[in-house]
Amino acid sequence: MNNPPENDQLSIAKYLRQDRLPHIWCAACGIGPALNCFLRAIDKSGLNPDKMSVVSGIGCSGRVAGYVKLDSFHTTHGRAIPFATGLRLANPELKAVVFSGDGDLVAIGGNHLIHAARRNIDMTVICINNFNYGMTGGQVGPTAPYDVRTSTTPYGNFESAFNLPLLLFASGASYIARWTVVHLHQLENTIVEALLKPGFSFVEVISPCPAVYGRMNKEPDGLDSLKNYVKRSIIKNGADPRETEITQNGPIVVGKFVDIIRPTLQENLAKVAAKAKKPSTK
Amino acid sequence: MTSKLVGIESSLAVSEAVKLANVDVIAAYPITPQTHIVESLAEMVANGDLDAEYIPVESEHSAMSACLGSSAVGARTFTSTASQGLILMHEVLLVAASLRLPIVMAVANRALSGPLNIWGDHSDAMITRDSGWIQIFVENGQQAFDQTLCAFRIAEHKDVLLPTIINIDGFHISHVIEPIYFLDQQTVNEFLPPYKHPYALDPDTPVTIGCFAGPNLYTESMKALDSALRESKKVILETWQKFGEITGRQYKPVEKYKTENADTILITMGSYSENAMMTIDKMQSEGKKVGLVRLRLWRPFPYEEIVEAISGVKNVIVLDRAISLGGPAPVCSEIRAALYATEKKPQIVSIVGGLGGRDISPADFITIVELGIEKIKSGKTEETIMFGVRE
C-alpha cells in the first residue's frame, strides 16, 4: 500500500497510523477496501472521530485496530464484542465500532454476537466475511458454504454455513446490511447509516481471500472473486433474511435488509434505573 | 521392525504418528503454530488414509469439550493447539484429567497475550502445569514423532488413564524440516495395542461420569488424581524402555549431557537443549567444567532423577522459557524445591530467556553460563536474570 499524503484532508490518511504501514494484507484482499469505506464513512457521518473507538479480535481483519489512528483495542480471539460492550457501557460518550472477521465474530465469538444483538446494545459491527480462517491458512469455518474446499475440507465442506443476516435478525439486531467489496459506494453509505443507527447495527462485507480460500475455490486472483461478485450479486434492499443464504455458486443477495426501531440496551437500562431510583411510597 | 528415514516437517511427523496410532477422533481449531498438524490430519481423514472422525469445531473450548465426549465413549482421541488456544481450553483441561480421560494433545508452544505474540516460548505449558495432565517436552522432530506414539501408550495404560501433552516448541520444532525415522504400521500396532477404556460410557453397562462431589468427596478425588499422576511415572519409564528396545532411541525423564566432572550444570527444557549441547561441547573443548541436564518430563515432576543428576555439583544454572510474574521462574522453582532437602545443595541461579520467539544462539549460551557463575559469585542467587532484555 502506498502511503497516502498526510496533508490531504480528503484522504483517509489522518485516520491511519502511518508508522504501522505497510499492512499485512495480501494483494487483492478485501479488508483494505472495506477499511477504506469505514474511514470515509466516519467523515461522512459527521461523528466526532475523537469519540470513536475501534475494537477488533484476532485474524487478518483483527489487524484493523492496530492500523487506525482512533482509540482502538486489539482484543483476544472472539472477544471484540464483549470488550466493546464494557467500553460502551462504561463510557457512553464513546461510539463503539467492532471491526473483525467471520472466524472471530461468528465462530469463536459467535455467542457474543447473538447476545449483543439480543440486547440491542448501541454498537456497530463490521464483519468481513471471507468464508474461512484466512490468517491460519484457510481452514473451514462456520461461514464456509456447503461443499466449498478449504484446507481442512479438501474434498468439500460437509457442514452448512450460517446465514448471517438471518442469524442477526433472529437475534434482534436493529440494522442489518450486506455488501461485497465491489459495492464500495453502497458499503460506505451503509456504514454511515449503521454508525448513526441507534442500537445494534451489523454490516457484513463479502470479501475475497485470494491467498487461501480463493486459491482452493477456483478464484486464485482477487479479481476473479470480484468478477464473480459482480456476476452473482443481486441488490435487494429489504430482502427477507431467509432469502439471503450464500451457497457455493448461488446468488449473493446484497443490500440493506433490516432497519427497525427497538429500544436499545442503554435506553432500557436508563428506564429500569429510573424505576429503581423512585422514592419509596412508604 | 522396519524404519524409514523421511525428510519432513516436524508438524507433519506428529500427524504421521497420530495416523499410525490409528486415532478415532480428532477435534481441533486452527491456531498458529500448531495448524499444520491438524490440517494434515484433516487431509488424511478426507483422503481415507485415516479412518477417524475429524470435527472442525468453533473454538478450542469446544475442541477439548468434544475430545472429552469422544474419549468418554472409549474412542482414541487426539487434538492439538497452542498458546491462547490452550488457555481457552483450560476449564475443560482440568475436567479431562479429573475424569481420567486419556486424550493426547500436541502443543506447539507459543507465548501468551499480551502483547499478542505468535512465536515460541513455554508460557502456555507452564500455565497448564497444575491441570493434571502428563507433560513431556521434546527437542526435535524425531522426538516429537516418538513421543506422540509413546503418549498414547502412556495415557491409555490402565494404571494411568490420564491425558497427556507433548510440548513441541512452536516454530523452532513445529516448522522445521528434519530427517525423521518413521515406524511401520505393524511395529506401531505391536507397541500400541487397541485402546479400551475400562469405564467407558456404554448403554449396556451404564456409568455416570463428571458428577458432583461435595466437601465429603472432593479432597479424596484430588488425592486420587494426584496419586495417579505421580504414579504414572512407572508406566512412563516402562513405555520409554520398551520404545528404546524397539527403536534404539532412549528416553529418560532427566537426560544428562557430558555432566561427568562438571562443576557447573546448565538445565534446559525443549528445543534450546540442542543449541546448549553445541555450546557445552565448545566450552568443554576449552577446558571449562560445564555440563548440561535436559528436563524431558515436566509432569509428573521427576524429583529423584533431578536430584540424582545435579546434587553434588557446585553451580546450577536453570534456563526458563517462561516468566512467572512476581515469583520465581517455574522450572527453576521446582528444581530449587527438589534440591532443598538434599545435603549437598548446589548454588542455583534462575535465568529467563527466549521469550516470545527471541532466539538464544550457541554463543548466547556461553554468556548465560558466564552470567550464572557471576551471579553465584556475587551471592545474589535469589535474583532472577532476564537474559538479553533491553532496559
Burial A25-57 (b: 16+ CB within 10 A, else e): bbebbbbbbbbbbbbbbbbebebebeebbbbbb
Task: List B residues 148-177 in contact with A (Cβ-Cβ < 8 A).
Answer: none
CATH number at residue A233: 3.40.50.970
> How close B274 gets to chain A, by Cα (Å)?
28
Task: Determine the residue of chain B that is closest to A142 in CA distance.
Answer: B58
Contacts of B255 (CB under 8 A, 6+ apart): B293, B294, B296
What confidence tier does B21 reach under pLDDT thresholds 50, 70, 90?
very high
Q: What is the interface pTM, i.e. ipTM, of the complex? A: 0.89
Confidence of residue A280 (pLDDT cuts 50, 70, 90): low
In a domain, A1, yes or no: no
pLDDT at A181 over 70: yes
pLDDT-derived band at B4, boundaries 50, 70, 90:
confident
With cut-offs at 50, 70 and 90, classify the pLDDT of residue B45: very high
**CATH 3.40.50.920: which residues of chain B?**
254-386
For residue A10, the model assigns a pLDDT of 55
How near does any CA of chain B get to the CA of A149, in Å? 11
Q: Give the pLDDT mean for B209-219.
A: 94
Find residue B3's DSSP bridge partners: B183
Residues of chain B with CATH 3.40.50.970: 3-247
A137–B116 CB contact, under 8 Å: no
Q: pLDDT at position A3, please?
A: 53
Q: Tell whether A244 is covered by a domain.
A: yes
Give ∠ CA B76-B192-B101 in degrees, rounded to 5.
35
What percent of chain B stands above pLDDT 90? 95
- Model-level pTM? 0.94
CA of B30 to nearest chain A CA: how many angstroms apart?
6
Of residues B322, B267, B295, B270, the one with CA closest to residue B83: B322
Residue B280 contacts residue B290 (beta carbons within 8 Å): yes
Superfamily of domain B3-247: Thiamin diphosphate (ThDP)-binding fold, Pyr/PP domains (3.40.50.970)
Q: Please list every residue in chain B whose beta carbon sits closer than 8 Å to the beta carbon of residue A141.
A: 56, 58
Q: Is residue A100 part of a domain?
A: yes
A74 touches chain B (CB under 8 A): yes
Whether B49 and B23 have beta carbons less than 8 Å apart is answered as no
Q: What is the pLDDT of residues B140-181, one digit of tens each?
A: 999 999 999 999 999 999 999 999 999 999 999 999 999 999
Q: Are A257 and A168 in contact (CB under 8 A)?
A: no
Structural domain tally of chain A? 1
| Residue A213 contacts residue A145 (beta carbons within 8 Å) | no
Which residue in chain A is spatially nearest to B112 when comparing CA positions?
A76
Q: Is A282 within a domain? A: no
Q: Can you read off the three cell numbers belonging to residue B230?
A: 505421580
Domain assignment of residue A271, given as a range: 6-277
Compare all CA atoms of chain B with the CA of A138 and give the residue at the minimum distance: B30
Distance from CA of B122 to the nearest CA of A (A): 19
Which pLDDT tens digit goes with each residue over A97-113?
Answer: 999 999 999 999 999 99
Residue A282 confidence (pLDDT) above 70: no
Q: Tell me, yes or no, whether A137 lies in a domain.
A: yes
CB–CB contact B46 A153 (8 Å): yes
Is it true that domain B254-386 has CATH number 3.40.50.1370?
no
Q: Which residues of A fall within a CB distance of 8 Å from B58?
A: 107-108, 110, 141-142
